[in-house]
Amino acid sequence: MTHQVVSQAAADPVRVGRWLADQLGDPAWRDCTLSSVGHGRSNLTFRVESAAGAVVLRRPPVGSVASTAHDMGRERRVLTALATSAVPVPRVLAHAEDGDPVDAPCYVMEMVDGVVPLAEPPAAWPDEASRRQAGDALIDVLVALHRLDPGEVGLADFGRPDGFMARQLRRWSTQWETWRDGSGVDPATVTEVTTLAGELADSLPVTQRSTIVHGDYRIDNLMYDHVEPGRIRAVLDWEMSTLGDPMADLGLLMIYWPSPGDPAIWRNASLLASPTREPGFPTRAELAARYAAGTGLSLEPLPWYTAFGAFKLAVVLAGILARVQDGAVPAEVAEGLSGAVAPLVALGRHVLRSGLPG
């Protein structure tokens, strides 16, 4: 993970330390240090360290409290609900709705000891067999999540599952209409995005099951054991979680899973560095087959969900580019994203026509 200096506007260590000392009952927290973890494009994550130990603080982006306050409550609620389930999550230790410690909704969770796979496979995955274990574990945890009964873990009212994918498609189509003119995307790509949205609307699949959906399930949102490649210690970043169609998680995972030997149309749409480019990891087809065996869901509509994942990511990128153009966010937030919309849309249309690689 990337650790950076924290501005006091985001989190003041004096206030955070005083609040933690009171919440956790240990005065040693008063003398603490904070470091930023990750890129900060969404909710902000901080490592808090003191003589008492280390914890993780999550808060909304600075200046965006009203629009993201609900996310903090949703993250905290789902983590608490899953604490005793088969889905590994960090334990929530304390929370605040406003005022101390950061003048915004926030929560503190335990610091899980593990490794988040980024560009390269972790040291514990030196060979193809260990990478296969890591990939199988990723799917097994997703299966465990999607087999949970939301009502049994207190999440029966966590979302509106009826009509979920239709609403998702409307939402991201509306966002596209809002952002497209200011994004700097070329006219040909604008036409392609709009065409893909129409194709998705014309072929909307019937939902097979409604479950808890993570919303951004990918390998770098998982924390693995330092030694055992087949053991996931925590699933992270639940800000997009809700009740909905579980195939949406699987479809998006297909986009986030580059494989050795991918054809150009898949390589061009691969935006993030990923260890799965190395040999040994399960293929997309193998991931999907293991998922289907564990959930009993049909894979027949998976190309649609994968195409929707490509469409959604394309619109998200257009939004980032538009906000940079407007000066609403710093230019570095869009670093490496210029020209990334067209390949995603091309992939989405290709998958709708031709399906996923075997």
pLDDT tens digits for range 234-243: 999 999 999 9
At 269-318, the pLDDT tens digits run: 998 889 999 999 999 999 999 999 999 999 999 999 999 999 999 999 99
**Is residue 151 domain-shared with residue 73, that is, in the same domain?**
no
**Is residue 44 domain-shared with residue 155, that is, in the same domain?**
no
| Total domains in the fold of the chain | 2
**Is residue 85 domain-shared with residue 177, that is, in the same domain?**
no
What is the structure's pLDDT at 8?
A: 62
List, in sequence order, every residue forming a beta bridge with 58; answer none if it has no partner: 45, 107
Confirm if 221 and 118 have CB atoms less than 8 A apart.
no
**Is residue 142 domain-shared with residue 84, that is, in the same domain?**
no
Whether the pLDDT of residue 2 is over 60: the answer is no
Q: Is residue 79 part of a domain?
A: yes
Taking the mean position of all CA atoms in its chain, how far away is CA 202?
27
Comparing CA positions, the residue from 159, 54, 138 lying closest to residue 88 is 138
Question: HSE-up of 231 (CA within 13 Å, CB side)?
Answer: 9
Q: Is residue 36 part of a domain?
A: yes
**Is residue 93 domain-shared with residue 151, that is, in the same domain?**
no
Would the CA dihedral through 253, 255, 261, 263 be positive or negative? positive
The secondary structure of 82-110 as a DSSP string is TTTSSS--PPEEEEESSSTTTTS-EEEEE
Confirm if 212 and 145 have CB atoms less than 8 A apart.
yes
What is the structure's pLDDT at 68?
A: 41
Q: Is residue 185 part of a domain?
A: yes
The secondary structure of 219-276 as a DSSP string is GGGEEE-SS-TT-EEEE---TT-EEE-THHHHHHHHHT---TT--HHHHHT--S--GG
At which of 83, 110, 137 does a domain end? 110
At 136-189, the pLDDT tens digits run: 999 999 999 999 999 999 999 999 999 999 999 999 999 999 999 999 999 999
Q: How far apart are CA 271 and CA 267, in angstroms?
A: 9
CATH of the domain at 51: 3.30.200.20
Please name the residue ranges forming H helices in 203-334: 247-255, 264-268, 284-295, 302-326
At which of 62, 81, 110 does a domain end? 110
**Is residue 42 domain-shared with residue 173, that is, in the same domain?**
no
Q: What is the pTM of this model?
A: 0.92
In this structure, of 77-81, 183-187, 206-210, the range with the lowest mean pLDDT score is 183-187
Q: Are strands 92-96 and 211-213 parallel, antiparallel or unpaired?
A: unpaired
**Is residue 163 domain-shared with residue 264, that is, in the same domain?**
yes
**Is residue 180 domain-shared with residue 298, that is, in the same domain?**
yes
Whether the pLDDT of residue 1 is over 60: the answer is no
**Is residue 42 domain-shared with residue 162, that is, in the same domain?**
no
**Is residue 99 domain-shared with residue 142, that is, in the same domain?**
no
Q: Is residue 118 part of a domain?
A: no
At 345-358, the pLDDT tens digits run: 999 999 999 999 87
Give the DSSP letter of residue 259.
-
Mean predicted lDDT score pLDDT of the chain: 92
Using pLDDT thresholds of 50, 70 and 90, give the confidence band for residue 63: low
List, in sequence order, every residue forming a beta bridge with 4; answer none if it has no partner: 36
Q: Is residue 119 part of a domain?
A: no
CATH of the domain at 316: 3.90.1200.10
Q: Which domain holds residue 15?
A: 3-110
Using pLDDT thresholds of 50, 70 and 90, give the confidence band for residue 9: low
**Is residue 195 domain-shared with residue 259, that is, in the same domain?**
yes
Q: How far apart are CA 305 and CA 327, in angstroms?
A: 33
What is the structure's pLDDT at 62?
A: 76
At 317-347, the pLDDT tens digits run: 999 999 888 888 788 878 878 789 999 999 9
**Is residue 300 domain-shared with residue 158, that is, in the same domain?**
yes
Q: Is residue 287 part of a domain?
A: yes
At which of 110, 142, 175 does a domain end? 110
Percent of the chain whose predicted confidence (pLDDT) is above 90: 81
Q: How far apart are CA 239 and CA 76, in angstroms?
A: 9
At 83-132, the pLDDT tens digits run: 999 999 999 999 998 888 999 999 999 999 999 999 999 999 999 999 99
Q: Is residue 349 part of a domain?
A: yes
Q: Is residue 123 part of a domain?
A: no
